[in-house]
């Protein structure tokens, strides 16, 4: 059994010191890893149903990564077989004019999970201290204040009963190159290829620095960040499935008792 907590950002993290291809102390390769994850995903399926049935808890999962980092892959693999009715995905793209006319959390708050729901943020409000910072879209003083604003926003959500887990899918620059090249070489993957990704790749170091600040300033006990080594897709999925199952297990969910006495019910 793996310990998902070892990937949690509890003290200062330096991304250069986290090996994106690492597999921690997992004894076994891809085959064992995939098998272990499939088992966890089965449990996730049952736990999600329990979460929905009990209707008391909300789970928010934030996914952030460099381009090709694997956000889509995580959603596909880790949630494979989980009932889509209880899981929502909210993708945050470049803001619309209407969104830009408001504060940056305006589009985020309506997408947070309701009771019984799991919501996955595919990108999130963290873009407002990442891409916005790297491209100087607002003055420095403004994005700097957002760290504490985001912390307070998340703390409010947690105090009101939401559980928050945040995952940074950590890939290496070489791995990104290989994944971009693979998309370029395969016409059926061209729809995923964007020339804009190459421009962002040029700013790799700026993004790493921005991510490091995010991790160090916004990982708290109530809304922790996990740095997930993600060059190996199977290990990435295994870590995330492990943390999700550990978290849901800890909620101690129970099926609700029925409001009616069903003991004497006869179906004719
Ligand atoms: P895919 O895997 O499909 O490429 P993606 O999440 O990269 O998924 P894209 O449509 O390619 O989706 O990219 C979304 C873009 O929107 C990203 O470049 C991201 O940085 C940008 N974006 C998201 N939020 C903001 C924001 N608040 N301000 C400016 N840009 C943003
Ligand atoms: Mg993209």
Pair of tokens at residue 254: 């129970």
Q: Whose CA is nearest to atom 10 of ligand 1?
A: 93
Ligand nearest to the CA of 122: 1
Q: Whose CA is nearest to atom 9 of ligand 1?
A: 93
pLDDT tens figures, 185-226? 999 999 999 999 999 999 999 999 999 999 999 999 999 999
Residue with tokens 């892959």: 73
φ and ψ at residue 111, rounded to 5 degrees: -95, -5
Angle between helix axes 204-218 and 140-159 (nearest 10 degrees) is: 40
Question: Does 258 contact ligand 1 (Cβ within 6 A)?
Answer: no
Angle between helix axes 30-54 and 233-250 (nearest 10 degrees) is: 30
pLDDT tens figures, 78-124? 999 899 988 999 999 999 999 999 999 999 999 999 999 999 999 99
Question: Does 99 contact ligand 1 (Cβ within 6 A)?
Answer: no
DSSP 8: B
Compute the distance from residue 91 Cα to the ligand 1 centre, in Å.
Answer: 9
Question: Which residues touch 112 (CB under 8 Å, ≥6 apart)?
Answer: 58, 60, 119, 157, 162
Percent of the chain whose pLDDT exceeds 90: 97
Pair of tokens at residue 136: 């100087």
Contact 172, 231 (CB under 8 A): yes
pLDDT tens figures, 11-50? 999 999 999 999 998 989 999 999 999 999 999 999 999 9
Q: pTM score > 0.75 for this model?
A: yes
Report the side by side order of strands in the sheet with 87-91.
87-91, 118-122, 58-65, 162-170, 225-229
Question: Does 100 contact ligand 1 (Cβ within 6 A)?
Answer: no
Mean per-residue pLDDT for 226-239?
A: 98
Question: Does 86 contact ligand 1 (Cβ within 6 A)?
Answer: no
Q: Return d(Cα 19, Cα 5) in angstroms, integer.
A: 17
Contact 4, 239 (CB under 8 A): yes
Ligand nearest to the CA of 127: 1
CA 3 to chain centre: 18
* H helix and E strand count, the chain: 9, 5
pLDDT tens figures, 116-147? 999 999 999 999 999 999 999 999 999 999 99
CA 149 to chain centre: 20
Compute the distance from residue 99 Cα to the ligand 2 centre, in Å.
Answer: 19
Compute the distance from residue 194 Cα to the ligand 2 centre, in Å.
Answer: 7
Question: Does 194 contact ligand 1 (Cβ within 6 A)?
Answer: yes
Compute the distance from residue 92 Cα to the ligand 1 centre, in Å.
Answer: 7
Please choose from 122, 123, 183 the residue to mutate so as to test ligand 1's pocket, defined by most ligand atoms within 8 A of CB. 123
Long-range pairs of 156-162 with CB within 8 A, sequence gap ≥ 24: 157/60, 157/112, 157/223, 158/222, 158/223, 161/56, 161/57, 161/58, 161/115, 162/58, 162/59, 162/60, 162/112, 162/113
Question: Does 93 contact ligand 1 (Cβ within 6 A)?
Answer: yes
- pLDDT of 2 reads 86
């Amino acid at each position: 059994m793996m310990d998902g907590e070892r990937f949690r950002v509890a003290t200062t993290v330096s991304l250069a010191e986290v090996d994106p291809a690492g597999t921690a102390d997992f004894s076994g390769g891809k085959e064992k890893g995939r098998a272990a994850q499939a088992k966890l995903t089965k449990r996730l399926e049952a736990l999600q149903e329990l979460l929905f049935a009990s209707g008391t808890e909300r789970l928010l999962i934030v996914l952030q990564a460099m381009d090709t980092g694997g956000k889509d892959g995580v959603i596909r693999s880790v949630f494979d077989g989980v009932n889509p009715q209880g899981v929502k995905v909210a993708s945050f793209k470049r803001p619309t004019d209407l969104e830009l006319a408001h504060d940056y959390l305006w589009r985020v708050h309506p997408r947070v999970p309701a009771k019984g729901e799991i919501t996955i943020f595919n990108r999130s409000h963290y873009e407002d201290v990442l891409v916005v910072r790297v491209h100087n879209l607002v003055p420095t003083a403004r994005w700097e204040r957002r760290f504490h604003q985001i912390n307070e926003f998340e703390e409010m959500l947690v105090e009101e009963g939401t559980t928050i887990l945040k995952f940074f899918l950590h890939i290496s620059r070489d791995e990104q190159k290989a994944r971009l090249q693979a998309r370029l070489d395969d016409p059926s993957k061209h729809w995923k290829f964007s020339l804009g990704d190459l421009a962002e790749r040029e700013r790799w170091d700026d993004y790493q620095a921005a991510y490091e600040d995010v991790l160090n300033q916004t990982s708290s006990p109530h809304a922790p960040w996990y740095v997930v080594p993600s060059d190996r897709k199977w290990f990435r999925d295994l870590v995330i499935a492990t943390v999700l199952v550990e978290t849901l297990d800890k909620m101690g969910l129970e099926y609700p008792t029925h409001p009616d006495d069903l003991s004497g019910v006869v179906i004719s």
